[in-house]
Amino acid sequence: MGLHKIIKIVAIILCLVGIVFFGMILSKGDEVVKATGEGVDGYIYIAYIVFALILAFVLIFVLKGLAQGNIKKTLISIGAFLAVVAIAYGMAQGVETPMKDGEVLSASGSKWVGAGLYAFYFLAIVAIGAMLWSGVKKLTSR
């Protein structure tokens, strides 16, 4: 039995279980569900199962792709990404920041937020530059 058939069977089973839980929620009525949340647990469990399946398949296929592909290029790419994050973290400044709910964001948390923004900006500039370079290269090669 192929992987495609197994995935289809699991999807059909999850759909049927979801329909059963939907029927249970409808039979309870809107007011009961709003007041107590009764009947929603089944949907939460289905969401956990689907999330676990997706995570497992992603890990399996990523590891399979790493084993079949060029591990050296993958490690270089991961190293370049970690270098971008390290540079962004070095550029970021961390200050304690009060938030709307009255809590305070720590200096470390603020520095990580800044590092994420700097890394995003840098990677966006690199992506835009790569697209422009590719476009210019296509135009000039014709």
Mean pLDDT value of segment 8-14: 88
Determine the pLDDT at residue 52: 92
Residue 94's closest CA among 102, 104, 82? 104
* Residues 98-126, mean pLDDT to the nearest whole number: 93
Domain boundaries, the chain: 1-69, 70-142
Residue with more model confidence, 103 or 28: 103
Q: What is the DSSP letter of 104?
A: E
| This prediction's pTM | 0.58
- Chain mean pLDDT for the chain: 87
Q: Which two tokens stand for residue 51?
A: 């999330």
Q: How far apart are the first and last CA of the chain?
A: 49
Q: For residue 119, count other CB atoms closer than 10 A to its CB.
A: 19
Note whether 46 and 21 are within 8 A (CB). Answer: yes
No. of helices (H) and no. of strands (E), the chain? 5, 2
Confidence class of residue 92 from pLDDT cuts 50, 70 and 90? very high
